[in-house]
Structures are given as structure tokens and as C-alpha cells.
Amino acid sequence: MANSNNFAFDVHLDDLAFLLINRNVCKAAGKNCLFVDAGGNTCWETTEDFGARGGAGLHSRYVDACVGFSPSFTRALIFDFTDSIVPQTQTFFYVLQGNPNNFNWRDLRGKRIGFPTRWYTDPDCMARNADKIQGARLDSSQIVYYAQAADIYDALQRREIDAGFFTNELEDLASSLEVASDAITTCTTAGDALMIRKDNPISEWFNPALRTVLRSREYREICKDVDDYYNTFLTGRSSEFVCLGY
């Protein structure tokens, strides 16, 4: 565990959240934050054999916190979370453009679904929709995990799966496919945050500092820059995707 002023964070989120924490929140709290891209299963992992579980790096205190992890029902059993850094994302079923196989998300009986590993969009999340989706509790033979989210697109092309199930945070993949369902809201309880061990008191200084930053002029300037970027490169998106209360 780092000392009272030095903290190591694993980072995998977009540049806005990184900038928010690195330049603003840690500075406002008077903390020295070291950011590392630990990769792999440092924070969280999901496998066909063992399902979803906490990553070895966070359990062993290799990092103090993992940036950009949403509080899911499963994760909350193992770890704690700070206040959200970005708004809550949405989860959908995705298919090839035009839905050539006529996938019906309301009936998953006999369907194979692709999931990206290490994400909260897992079979447990899907199963919580059994009241409105037939066959929502998938058999193991219907579940296929992909280490690289982009592999879901190839799997759909090969008809290895009938649909992918993932968050709109994976925007490059989502933009190449077609949304085939209503938004699924049972995967997370809030937006991406810092995921921490339950014995780690980071929230005591992080949350007040975050609230200070969200009220700052600099934060509004960051969000304005994001709007300008989206208007130029990602038509149809806005800073509402990554900015809180802007």
C-alpha cells in the first residue's frame, strides 16, 4: 500500500478521465498520483471457467485503484468505488448492420452471445432481465468470451455468435455494428469510477476533491474541448457522454 500521499492507479479509460484525475483531482487533494497501464487481469477478469472475479493486481495492492470501472452488482461484492468520474454508460445487444439473421433480443433460447472479457456486461447482468427476455439465463454453451472486443465483430461475420452484448463505451466496435435492443440498465449502478479494495480509504479524499473539480472553470473548459472534438470527428456524440453535469 502506498504511503498517505502517494498512490498508484491503473488506467484504461479515455483521455478526459485521465486528465481529470491526473491534473485536477489529485492536485486538489494534494496527492501524488502515479498512473500505470498494468493491463491484463490486474483489476478484473471474466473467464468461461471461473466467471467474474477481482484481479490479482488490485487484490495484492500492486495498484491502489483501478480507473474507469463501473460499480456492478458483482464487483460491489468484492470492491468499493469512489464517486463517478463520468456518466453511467448503457449496454445493448449488437448485431451486423441490417440484422441479417433477424436476431430477436427478447428471445435468447438457442442463441450464442459474445461477451468481451473483463467487462461488467456479463451473463449475470443479462440474467437479471429474465422478466422481459426469454432465455436470459444462458447455458454455458451459449456463452462465448473474447479477449479482444474487436473479435466480436469477426465472430458475427463468421456466424459464430448471434449477437454481441457490451457497453457503448466500446465506441469503435459499436459504430461498426447495429443496436438490436433497448438499453439494458441492470449491469451497473453508476458511471465509471475508481475501483478500490474495501480496506482502502481513498474515497475519503478523492470524493471531496472530485466535487471541487466538477465545480471548477477548468473542468468546463475540458468539456468544451471534448465537445469541439466530437463535433469534428464523431458526429452525433457530445460531451454528455463523458462529462458530469455539463
pLDDT in tens, the chain (246 residues): 445 667 777 765 556 666 777 778 999 999 998 888 776 678 887 666 666 778 888 998 989 999 888 898 888 999 999 999 988 888 999 999 999 999 999 999 999 999 998 788 889 889 999 999 999 999 999 999 998 888 999 999 999 999 999 988 787 788 889 999 999 988 899 998 999 999 999 999 999 999 999 999 988 888 888 777 776 665 556 677 788 876
Fold type of domain 91-179 = D-Maltodextrin-Binding Protein; domain 2 (3.40.190)
pTM, two decimals, is: 0.76
| CATH 3.40.190.10 placement within the chain | 6-88+189-241, 91-179
Which CATH number describes the domain made up of 6-88+189-241?
3.40.190.10
Predicted local distance difference test score (pLDDT) of residue 147: 85
Give the side-chain half-sphere CA count within 13 A for 162: 17
Predicted local distance difference test score (pLDDT) of residue 1: 43
